[in-house]
Each structure stands twice: as C-alpha cells, then as structure tokens.
Amino acid sequence: MLFRFAILFTITLLLPCTATAQGSWEKIDVPTQQSLHSVYFTDSLYGWAVGDTGTIIHTSDGGDTWTVQDAQTDNSIWSVFFLNRSLGWAASWNYEGFFGTLIHKTTNGGTEWTSEPYPEDNIFINCILFHDTLNGWVGGSPHALAKTIDGGISWTEAEVDTTPLAFFPVLNIEFYDEKYGYACGGMFDIAGVTWSTSDGGEKWYPIDNADAPADEVHGLHIFDSLTVLGSGGDPDFGYGVGMIRTADGGINWDYEELSMQGNAYDLDFRNESEAWAPLGPRQKLIYSLDAGTTWTEIPSPDNSAIFDMIFTDSLHGFAVGDHGAVLKYDATSVGLSENQPGNTIDLYIYPNPCSGALHLRVTRYALRVTCIDLYSISGERIQRLMGEEKLPGKYELEIDVSNLTPGVYFVRLQAGGDVAVHKLVVVN
C-alpha cells in the first residue's frame, strides 16, 4: 500500500512537469590504457572497471578520480560484481598452469584480493551475479550455468532442460526476484540462446529452437517476472542490431533486427522508458525513449569502442571499452533541459544515495523565484531547501541530511510553471 501511495504521490508531483530530457555521455580520464571489459557500481559513488592484463580501477567519488587496484594477476579480467562497497568478485581467464578461470574475491573494496581456480578446467567465466554474501551465479563458455551457496568456495552446475540449444555459452545472468531469472548467450553465426527459470534456478529452460536468432544475445533487461528485453545482433555487420523479447516468461520469444549495423553488446535502462546499448567496434551508442520499441544511433564520444555499461539510477551512468575508454553519463539537465523553450533552471543532486551532506547544483537561466523542497515518501514537506529569486548563473547548495531517517525521499523543484522531481535515498 505504501509503495502504491509513493507512485501516486510522485505522479502528482510531476503533473506540471515538462518532458524529461535525454542526457549525454562524456569521456573521462582514467589511469589505464588497457581495454576494459566490465564495469560495476554499487551506488552513484563507488565503482570498479576491469580489463586486460589484470587491470582493476576503482572510484569512490562518482568517477571524478580513479585508483589502480592489484588483483595479483596478469590475466585478462572479464567480469566484476560487487554486492556492496566492500564485498566483490571478479573472473579472469588463465592460460598458464591450467586452462580455465580464476575467481577473485575482495572483502575490503578491492584493496586486497584472493584468488581461487574455478573447479572445472577449460571453463571461461563471462559473468558473475550474487544475491547475498553466500548465494551467487556464474555463466561461462563453452558452457557454464553454475550456482554457489558458500560465497564462491564451491560451485554446482545448474540443471538445464536438455534441448539442442541447452549447453551453449552463457554471457549474462539477471534475476527479477528470488524466483524468476533469465540468462542469455549463444554462439556467433550458429544460435543466440536465452534461458529462464521460475524456481530460483533449480531448473532452467532454453529458448525454443524456432525462436532462436542466429547470433549471441548479450544484454538483458527484466521489466517484470514475465516481460524481458534482450540485445544482440551480428558482429560481422551482416544483419545488424537485434532485440529479442518475451512477454510470457520465456516460453515464446520474438526477435527483431533493427535498421542499423552492428551488435548491441549490453543493455541498460536509465529509467522506466529510456534504454541505452553500446555497439562495440562500431563506435556507436543507441538509445530508446520508449522502452526499446524504437532506437536512435549516435557516435560514442571520441569514437570509443564501448562494450559494457551500467546506470546506478536515472542520473548516474558509466560505460567502458577499448584502450581505457570510460564514459560518464551527464544528467545535469534531467527534468528541465537547457534547450527546452521556457526553461528556467537545471537541478543536479549528489551523492545519491547519501548519508551526510547532500549537494544541490543549480543552474538558472532566467530571473524567476525558484522553490526546492524536500518531501517524505508519504507526501509531507519536510524542509524548504531554496525559495528565492537569484540572478542567472550556477549555484551550489550543501544540505545536512544526517538527521533524516534512512529511506526514500523526494526533492521537488519548481520554477514558474516548470516542475521536476528527483528521488533521493538516505542511508546510514
């Protein structure tokens, strides 16, 4: 009931708001030129990117600065996942001593890493996902869909319904909740495969042969337990970017080839309707403003080849790729865009989640009274953060939120008839 009320309250706040503007990506400096394969952020501040020759870089200030971490390996690291700011795992491919995967684990945010070989040789892990400190999943090539219940000490191969497509490489795993999960993968020019489970991974069911595309499926977005969108395509640029969908929990899938060349190597949503995907060596990004129904192609900054991306919330996104490329999503004009007619103000809040000081970055384009208020999730106005007329320009406000109970709040901005609302999460 509280969740439903929060939705209605948010809609009420947004009624007079102008259309949300699409932000942009910018390339940022990082201390490596090694190609980066995977990126993960636990929140808007703490993130890690991994890549060739054992490269791990870490930021604790939302990408403003990065430090190099030492996993004590020269292997290429292909996947990274953090459960929180301290506990994380990564997977690197080993070709000396044995052929297979090393699973790296840290309990102090990457300052120190320990490594253990994946128990089966000749398995190369592509993706890692953990639900909690003990229960997690990995996917790999030539096939692996395995679970741990002891934090990665041991792994058990999942039961998969035997079909011609059952045991292809697994490239990505996502869960909607403790019961419903999906995986995707496949082999180039042979078949793209998806798998689904409705019992927490006790058994997985591959896509029907008749629904399978010709090439791998790389990215997944789960809208609800039954509705899923996947991204892929032809890396040889033969047939172009493809999107695959199910609306019945994976029983049936529909595959659509878009009118743009390349392969969508990942898929991530900035909000409920805006999606992004990188096209790798095509040096392009594509985005959708209608939940993946139609797509637009744009060049990636500095012609970077991007392969992996993540949004921590509607304001913060990061992407990585070849030659140390790291992109940061610029959402300083979310809610009110500088290019919109009649726009009077932009608002950017950070960090989010926050625990002590909340920063408001305000850009004014006209001389109008502006009100910024903090609301509880129940709709009660807690505090007026700003309510005055100022000359056009940029202003930075720092608000102490240490006295607030941890939870979800809303920051509401109004300038004349323009309104924007941002969700704020306060943590301990």
Q: What is the CATH number of the domain that holds 400?
A: 2.60.40.1930
**42 and 125 together in one domain:** yes
Tell me, what's the pLDDT at 372?
85
314 and 363 in one domain? no
Is the domain of 315 the same as that of 398? no
In a domain, 340, yes or no: no
Read off the CATH number of the domain in which 133 is found.
Answer: 2.130.10.10
171 and 242 in one domain? yes
Scored b (16 or more CB within 10 A) or e, 336-357 reads bbeeeeebbbbbbbbbbbbeee
Same domain (yes/no): 321, 229: yes
The backbone region for 13, taken as left when phi is positive above 0, alpha when psi lies in -120 to 50, beta otherwise, is: alpha
CA angle 90, 93, 94 (to 5 degrees): 125
With respect to residue 337, please indicate whether it lies within any of the assigned structural domains: no
pTM: 0.75
Same-domain check for residues 296 and 350? no
- Taking CA 237 as the corner, what is the angle to CA 235 and CA 241, rounded to the nearest 5 degrees? 75
Task: Give the whole-angstrom CA distance, residue 86 versus residue 41.
Answer: 12
Whether residue 358 is found in the same domain as residue 283: no
Amino acid, res. 332: T
Among 298, 330, 362, the domain boundary falls at: 330
Answer yes or no: is 335 within a domain. Answer: no
Residues 62, 162, single domain; the answer is yes
Query: How would you write the pLDDT of the chain (428 residues) with one tens digit per residue?
Result: 333 334 334 433 443 332 333 578 999 999 999 999 999 999 999 999 999 999 999 999 999 999 999 999 999 999 999 999 999 999 999 998 899 999 999 999 999 999 999 999 999 999 999 999 999 999 999 999 999 999 999 999 999 999 999 999 999 999 999 999 999 999 988 999 999 999 999 999 999 999 999 999 999 999 999 999 999 998 775 678 999 999 999 999 999 999 899 999 999 999 888 899 999 999 999 999 889 999 999 999 999 999 999 999 888 899 999 999 999 997 653 333 333 334 456 677 888 888 888 888 777 666 666 788 888 877 788 888 877 776 667 777 888 888 888 888 888 887 766 677 788 888 87
Q: Is residue 129 part of a domain?
A: yes
| Contact (Cβ atoms closer than 8 angstroms) between residue 84 and residue 62 | no
> What's the domain count of the chain?
2
The answer to whether residues 323 and 353 belong to one domain is no
Q: Is 168 exposed, middle or buried (0-12, 13-18, 19+ CB in 10 A)?
A: buried
For residue 402, the enclosing domain spans: 345-426
The per-residue DSSP string of 135-200 comes to -EEEEEETTEEEEESSTTSS-EEPEE--STTTTS-EEEEEESSSS-EEEEEEETTTEEEEEEESST
Which H or E run contains 7? helix 2-14
